[in-house]
Amino acid sequence: MQSSQLTTIVALAILLTSPVQSATSPKRGLCHIPSNNHPSDDKIWRDPNSKLTWYYNYRATPSPAYLSDSPMHFVPMLWGSAPSTPSFLDTVTSMLDNGRNITYVLGFNEPDGPHRTGGSNIPADLAAIIWKSQIEPLKKRGVQLGAPAVTGSPNGFTWLENWFRECDGGCNPDFVPIHWYGDFEGLASQVGQVMGTYPDMKIWVTEWGLPHAGLEETQMNYNISTEWFDRMEVITHYSYFGAFRSDVSNVGPNSAMLTQKGQLSDIGSWYLGRQATKNVPKGTGGKTGIFTAWVVLVSGVVWAVL
């Protein structure tokens, strides 16, 4: 923790000395969570002026809503350990053979977390075996590989270390995705810890936010973290959680980029590079698990900041 604390201090110093803010960023992407109830919401993120450059959807194949006309670069993910037909490797290989530009893939969503909170719950040794057969071969095709995206808990870090040990040199990711639910200091410390442990790798922040907090606090956290991501060279991609309506949000209404009526919230609008809308997101979603589709797809693990 010593070096990560130091990194946090360095990060904060960088933050405080660089007041420039860009409206959009090439690093910015969409964590796409399609809504069965409101499929038209997908269009909001597809707007060519949005300047979101990439997206993932927890799946191997592109979202149907973005098949034909999306300027966003698709990033396939192997979510969990369940075998599929065709396999993940065959699916991505055939997309490459058909000329689709696949530059990156993501491996395993929160493998250290239970299904209840959206984790894929895979033992590190099994994840190493699956990685070697389904993900590592894509490196030969020039695809850059994202390490398993563990939760922000201390167990997550241990899981990742165990996984690398089980791989025994046979898993060679190019970047480490981070998930973080909590305040900025915790986020910066987590990034610092990953930088210290895996100094040769880039970092993606593929889910983050300050869950279940007040509106202003949530917006401030959003502002500070996006400004910081844009400035940190090691962080090449980030995607905010989340792109859904506030009444089904499992991270509290104020984290949602859409209101309960499907209008952009301030954060949603800022994320797309536009002005504040003053639309206040409302709702109490998530506490009773209304959105069953998410239970398998979405992480909701919230870690208090140390």
Ligand X SMILES: *[C@@H]1O[C@H](CO)[C@@H](O)[C@H](O)[C@H]1NC(C)=O
Q: Which long-range contacts (CB under 8 A, 24 or more apart) does 261-264 make?
A: 262/38, 262/40, 262/41, 262/44, 264/44
Is residue 73 at the binding interface for ligand X, with CB under 6 A as the rule?
yes
Residue 173 vs 192, nearer CB to ligand X: 173
Site map (CB under 6 A) of ligand X, residues 123-142, x = contact? --------------------
Q: Shortest gap between Cβ of 15 and ligand X (angstroms)?
A: 13
DSSP bridge pairs for 149: 109
Residue 121 vs 227, nearer CB to ligand X: 227
Near ligand X in 157-216, by CB under 6 A: 216
The DSSP secondary structure of 244-297, one letter per residue, reads: SBGGG-TT-GGG-SB-TTS-B-HHHHHHTT-----PPP---TTTT---HHHHHH
Q: Which of 15, 129, 220, 290 binds ligand X (CB under 6 A)?
A: 220
Residue 14 vs 276, nearer CB to ligand X: 276
Is residue 276 at the binding interface for ligand X, with CB under 6 A as the rule?
yes
Cβ–Cβ under 8 Å, residues 14 and 227 = no
CA–CA distance, 306 with 297 (Å, rounded to integer): 27
Near ligand X in 10-69, by CB under 6 A: none
Q: Which of 103, 133, 158, 284 binds ligand X (CB under 6 A)?
A: 103
Q: Shortest gap between Cβ of 219 and ligand X (angstroms)?
A: 4
Of 74-82, 182-190, 202-210, 219-227, which part binds ligand X (CB under 6 A)?
219-227
Residue type present at position 86: P
Which segments of 129-210 are extended strands (E)?
A: 144-149, 175-181, 202-209
Q: Which two tokens stand for residue 228?
A: 């910081």
CA–CA distance, 107 with 115 (Å, rounded to integer): 16
Residues that bind ligand X (CB under 6 A): 73, 101, 103, 216, 219-220, 223, 270, 276
